[in-house]
Amino acid sequence: MIETLKERVNGDAALVRRGRYLTTTFLFEIGGTAWLIAVHEGRIMSVTKGPFVMPSSSFALRTSEAEWERFCETRPPPGSNDLMALIKRRVLKAEGDLQVFMANLRYFKEALAKLRRDGAAA
């Protein structure tokens, strides 16, 4: 499912425009599986599945498989519908250079919401 992130984000011109000043690589971990996601000027350049020995990323987002499944439902329940709600419930850990994450929070929220079963942004 994460592998479709590149096509879904890059196919949304408004989302790419929103992230036009964002260039970073972040680690996204669901359960025991990790991906390095490279973003260049709002476009997803690559989604690389781990395992990694020493991944280089500006920040990491980590959650369980069960929580991610709830987030990806077409209509997620309250508390599972938003990245910040997951962080507030302490089921999503954000680690590393959080300035990059917070400065581009809406981009990340909309980009990861593209992975919902209907592919729509929140």
Residue identified by tokens 């972040």 is 26
Residues 47 and 53: their CA atoms lie apart, in Å, by 16
pLDDT in tens, 47-88: 998 888 888 899 999 999 999 999 988 888 898 899 999 999
- Residue 52, SS3 per DSSP: coil
pLDDT of residue 1: 76
- Is residue 109 a contact partner of residue 71, using CB atoms and an 8 Å limit? no
Q: What is the pLDDT of residue 122?
A: 42
| pTM for this model (two decimals) | 0.86
Share of the chain above pLDDT 90, in %: 70
Separation between Cα atoms, residue 25 and residue 93, nearest integer Å: 17
* Mean pLDDT, all residues of the chain: 90
CA 75 centroid distance within chain: 18
